[in-house]
Amino acid sequence: MALDEFLEELDRLTAEALLTFTAAGDAEALERARVEFLGARSGRLKNVQKSLANVDREDKPAAGKRFNDVKTAIESGFQDARQRLIASGPSAAETAGLDITLPGSRPRLGHVHPITRTIEDLKEIMGRLGFSVAAGPEVEDEWHNFEALNIPQSHPARDPLENFFLATAARHEPAAGNSPGGKGPSGSQGGDRPLLLRSQTSTVQIRVMEHAEPPVRIISLGRVYRPDTADATHYPMFHQIEGLLIDRHVTMADLKSVLRLFARSYFGGDVHIRFRPSFFPFTEPSVEVDMSWNDAWIEMGGAGMVDPNVLRAVGYDPDQVSGFAFGLGVERVCARRHQVTDIREFYKNDVRFLEQF
Amino acid sequence: MIVSWNWLKDYVVLDIEPEELARRLMMAGLNHESTKTVDDDLAIDLEVTSNRPDCLGHLGVAREAAVLCGHPLRLPPAAPRESQPAAAELTRVAIECPELCPRYIARVIRGVRIGPSPDWLVGRLRTLGISSINNVVDVTNYVLMECGQPLHVFDLTKLTGRQILVREARTGERLEAIDHKTYELSPGMCVIADEQSPVAVGGVMGGAASEVSAATTEILLEAAQFDPASVRATARRLNLHSDSSYRFERGVDPEGVDWASRRAAQWIQELAGGHEQVHVAAGSVDVGRQPAPRAPVVLRFDQLRRILGIEIDPAEVCRILQALGNTERSVVFPARVDYRGSSPAGQAADGGAVEVVPPSWRADLTREIDLIEEVARIHGYDAIPEDVSVPMATSARSIEDWVLAEVRQVLTAAGFDEALTVSVVEEDWSAAFSPWTDAPPLVEATGDS
């Protein structure tokens, strides 16, 4: 074969190869083009290489050199086309999908205080039993905190050292008409003396009853204050939740049954209730309530039938209506549920404590 | 209140195990705190609620045990051998402040020989954690722990004028008590005094100057009633508390005052020389208000069902009340009792009733509801069912609760933790957070716009 024929063939092959590579739209087309031109056994470049043998002997060096240039040009043309396709198509990472083992960015969530959580739980359980929430003032007068609750002046609970009486109390004149029996001095009679921080939430029960006719079905809850030295199980401020049901024909069997429903709801599983006789001035009979748990009896709180003197104090007729009341200390319930051993932690508000709930 | 197992057995047959007795007492109202072994005795610690001062003595606890075990109570004798001259010839008592001390009983005992107490007495006091002092003082502690009535003995020769004046303390008066501390007295405090000065803080503690010593041969034995509120206030102000003040604060049995006086006189006579040597002057000087008869209380049988939710056989109700010391005055049994009826309308129109006079040692029993509680706790609260159906009702959620829940949700989602702080704060804290001010406004308002 003449040299210039051979060289022309090489030029035509180069042009065609480069055109075909450029025109390849995707990886498959490019691969077909590669096989056609650069295929190891029957690619066109290979065929041309075979026809190199037909070139005249004295032209072979020039032809051989030209052939190598063309080979390099076609191969680099292929690589360029390949790079072009990679750059414009989806990346490896994308074609492989999402890596779900990578950690997410974690937002910092806040925490509701465990006492609030406990109160909300208890409210919700009692709500399902038909008890609505009632709230009242934390600064109370003596009628609501003592006299209406059948705690006479001589009772040790009224001792100045057992209560947080306010210094402002000394500046007020005794209100006229502050007599026991009949409705209290709030509202109609006026002359409420804010005298002390309430020592029990039963004050709220009195406030509800003196303004409403039976039936009454409430839970009163909130903070109460007693001058106890703070230690692992006592604090001068704590939370109580008290239930009250007044209607015609309410009995101690109703009390025990409601307490059992409450305990079963709160602890799950089968729970039994036990009464032990006790004494509170505002209930008669009065009992301590235990519930069964893991073959042992644990103390739940106090309860009883509302004392007729209390019913009369709020204007009810004890021969027409009867009712029960029960109370729990929220801190104790919360501490037991979450195994908190020192109730002072609840009021330190250390974030390391709060964020565990 | 710590009671001795052996001592209780003096008053009631105990044919059950100590643990069983403690359990029954607990289920009837005396919480069982602990039981400890002391020598050959058991010290059983019971919690006595403030409405049951009658259980601040072994007789009261024994009475509960007697009711719960179905055995009679054995009341011990309280009868010293008396002789002339009468107590009224040997001493005088005057009460100037009857509102602080309603009653004072003095007995005079002469010829006593102060010495150690017999082993059985020392042992019983030890079980209760009380140290032995001497035979006469130990008797006063023994009778206190037996019936709950506090007593005190004075050396009669150390009382100027050999008489007692119960009065208010005067400003500036002081007393060295038997604990050998000196106390400042003030008006409002009841003191026992002789012609010259206070010899005891009424109801709280005796004075050192007039206390019984090894040389004492003539004693004045005090048994009295003091106003509970006054004793409590005095004990608080002096920061001086005793087994006596504890009991006076809760009230003592008006009919038991004289019994305790006679009982102590009997023991002192027996242990401090015998009736040949020890002369208990006849009678006593008993000044002040005599115990008034108790008013009867009526219990309508249908009220038990109404309050407790269970039926209790009226005969059982009467048995319980009598066993507890109530005297039955009259009873009308119901004409027809419908045990199956579940509504009051299903019962007989006349449910019957029982009328009783409560015992003097139960000041807390004055109303029908109090008797209902007595019957219930002895009959047993386990009889009250825990699975009656309670009428359904709806409950309402307040706007306030709804809003608070929303606020809490938003703030915790935003990363805030909820803190609960003590309500009472220092004044400068309160000022720092108060926006109110009296300072003049930064921008003056223009006249009329």
Where does the pLDDT of residue A92 fall: very low under 50, low under 70, confident under 90, or very high at 90 and above? low
What SS3 state is found at A42? coil
Closest CA to A78 of A8, A23, A6: A23
According to DSSP, residue B418 is labeled: P
Q: Is A96's pLDDT higher than 70?
A: no
Please name the member of A225, A251, A272 whose beta carbon is closest to the beta carbon of B386.
Answer: A272
- Are residues B130 and B228 both part of a single domain? yes
- Are residues B216 and B319 both part of a single domain? no
- Are residues B32 and B175 both part of a single domain? no
- Are residues B283 and B318 both part of a single domain? no
> What residue type is assigned to position B401 of the chain?
D
- Are residues B204 and B348 both part of a single domain? no
Q: Tell whether B161 is covered by a domain.
A: yes
CA distances from B283 to A98, B14, B287, B386 (A): 105, 36, 12, 56
Q: What ipTM score was computed for the predicted complex, to two decimals? A: 0.89
Contact (CB<8Å) B416/A110: yes
Closest CA to B256 of B362, B154, B153: B362
Q: Tell whether B390 is covered by a domain.
A: no
Q: What is the CATH number of the domain that holds B64?
A: 3.30.56.10
- Are residues B351 and B208 both part of a single domain? no
According to DSSP, residue A46 is labeled: H
- Are residues B183 and B253 both part of a single domain? yes
Q: Tell whether B46 is covered by a domain.
A: yes
- Each residue's pLDDT tens digit, B381-418: 999 999 998 888 899 888 999 999 999 999 999 999 99
- Of A78-92, A331-345, B323-337, the least confident: A78-92
Q: How far apart are CA B125 and CA B123, in angstroms?
A: 5
Where does the pLDDT of residue A94 fall: very low under 50, low under 70, confident under 90, or very high at 90 and above? low
Give the model's pLDDT for residue A170: 56
- Each residue's pLDDT tens digit, B19-68: 999 999 999 999 999 999 999 999 999 999 999 999 999 999 999 999 99
Residue partners of B304: CB distance under 8 A and separation at least 6: B310, B311, B312, B317, B372, B375, B376
Q: Where are the alpha helices (DSSP H) in B188-255?
A: 228-238, 243-250
Residues of B in contact with A275 (CB under 8 A): 381-382, 384
Residues of A in contact with B249 (CB under 8 A): 156
Q: Tell whether B7 is covered by a domain.
A: yes
- Are residues B271 and B145 both part of a single domain? yes
Four-way CATH pick for A114-354: 1.10.10.1100, 3.20.20.70, 3.30.930.10, 3.10.290.10: 3.30.930.10
- Each residue's pLDDT tens digit, A192-209: 565 899 999 999 999 999
Please name the member of B382, B412, B421 whose beta carbon is closest to the beta carbon of A347.
Answer: B421
Give the model's pLDDT for residue A171: 52
Give the model's pLDDT for residue A190: 36
Query: B354: domain range?
Result: 297-383
- Are residues B246 and B99 both part of a single domain? yes
CA of A154, closest CA in chain B: separation in Å?
A: 6
- Each residue's pLDDT tens digit, A177-190: 444 433 444 433 33
Mean pLDDT of A258-263: 94
Which domain-ending residue is among B268, B288, B308? B288
The residue with tokens 């969530």 is A109
In sequence order, what are the beta bridge partners of A196?
Answer: A140, A165
Mean pLDDT of B312-328: 96
CA distances from B124 to A225, B6, B53, B259, B427 (A): 42, 8, 21, 21, 56
Q: How far apart are CA B291 and CA B304, in angstroms?
A: 31
Q: How far apart are CA A323 and CA B307, in angstroms?
A: 9
- Are residues B220 and B367 both part of a single domain? no
- Each residue's pLDDT tens digit, A21-76: 888 888 888 889 999 988 888 888 888 888 888 888 888 888 888 889 999 999 99
Mean pLDDT over each residue of chain A, to the nearest integer: 87
> How many pairs of residues across A and B have Cβ atoms under 8 Å apart?
172
Helix or strand (DSSP H, E) at B37 = strand B31-38
Q: How far apart are CA B373 and CA B69, in angstroms?
A: 19
Q: Helix, strand, coil proportions of chain A in percent (round to 5)?
A: 45, 20, 35
Residue partners of B162: CB distance under 8 A and separation at least 6: B90, B91, B156, B194
Mean pLDDT of A325-338: 92
Report yes or no: B243 and B48 within 8 Å, Cβ to Cβ.
Answer: no
Report yes or no: A224 and A238 within 8 Å, Cβ to Cβ.
Answer: yes
Residues of A in contact with B389 (CB under 8 A): 257
Supply the DSSP string of A212-266, one letter for each residue: SPSPEEEEEEEEEE--PPPBTTB-SEEEEEEEEEEETT--HHHHHHHHHHHHHHH
- Is the whole model's pTM more than 0.90, yes or no? no
Contact (CB<8Å) B423/A138: yes
Q: Is B1's pLDDT higher than 90?
A: yes
Contact (CB<8Å) A161/B236: yes
Give the model's pLDDT for residue A62: 86
Contact (CB<8Å) A112/B26: no
Contact (CB<8Å) A277/B424: no
Residues of B in contact with A346 (CB under 8 A): 420
Closest CA to B372 of A288, A251, A312: A251
- Are residues B103 and B250 both part of a single domain? yes
Choose, out of A111, A124, A199, A348, the residue to mutate when testing the contact with B (most B CBs < 10 Å). Answer: A111
Contact (CB<8Å) A253/B367: no
- Are residues B115 and B261 both part of a single domain? yes
Supply the DSSP string of B118-143, one letter for each residue: PHHHHHHHHHTT-----HHHHHHHHH
Give the model's pLDDT for residue B252: 97
CA of B415, closest CA in chain A: separation in Å?
A: 4
Q: Tell whether B392 is covered by a domain.
A: no
Give the model's pLDDT for residue A186: 42
Q: How far apart are CA B183 and CA B387, in angstroms?
A: 58
Give the model's pLDDT for residue B441: 78
Domain spans of chain A, in order of start: 3-96, 114-354
Q: Tell whether B431 is covered by a domain.
A: no
Q: How far apart are CA A22 and CA A162, in angstroms?
A: 97
Q: How far apart are CA A344 and CA B1, in angstroms?
A: 31
Residue partners of A229: CB distance under 8 A and separation at least 6: A236
Q: Tell whether B10 is covered by a domain.
A: yes
Residues of A in contact with B307 (CB under 8 A): 251-252, 285, 305, 322
Percent of the residues in chain A that have a pLDDT greater than 70, as a whole number? 90
CA of B377, closest CA in chain A: separation in Å?
A: 6
Mean pLDDT of B171-195: 95
Contact (CB<8Å) B369/A308: yes
Note if the bond before B228 is cis, omega within 30 degrees. no
Angle between helix axes B18-28 and B58-69 (nearest 10 degrees) is 90
Query: Torsion angle of alpha carbons B182, B187, B191, B197, nearest 10°?
Result: 70
Q: Tell whether B167 is covered by a domain.
A: yes
CA of A100, closest CA in chain B: separation in Å?
A: 25
Which domain-ending residue is among B69, B94, B124? B69
Q: Which residue of B has its CA nearest to A153?
A: B229
Please name the member of A115, A247, A279 whose beta carbon is closest to the beta carbon of B51.
Answer: A279
In sequence order, what are the beta bridge partners of B46?
Answer: B32
Please name the member of A274, A349, A355 whose beta carbon is closest to the beta carbon of B420.
Answer: A349
Mean pLDDT of B88-94: 96
pLDDT higher for A88 or A7? A7
Q: How far apart are CA B96 and CA B167, in angstroms?
A: 5
How would you classify the pairing of strands A322-329 and B2-4? Answer: unpaired
Please name the member of B249, B309, B423 whose beta carbon is closest to the beta carbon of A223.
Answer: B423
> What are the tokens at B288?
């002040």
CA of A161, closest CA in chain B: separation in Å?
A: 9
- Each residue's pLDDT tens digit, B352-384: 999 999 999 999 999 999 999 999 999 999 999
Residues of B in contact with A159 (CB under 8 A): 232, 236
CA distances from B57 to A301, B21, B64, B423 (A): 28, 16, 11, 43
- For chain B, the domain total comes to 3
Q: Which residue of B has its CA nearest to A323?
A: B307
Q: Is B330's pLDDT higher than 90?
A: yes
Q: Is A136's pLDDT higher than 90?
A: yes
Mean pLDDT over each residue of chain B, to the nearest integer: 93
Residues of B in contact with A217 (CB under 8 A): 393, 395
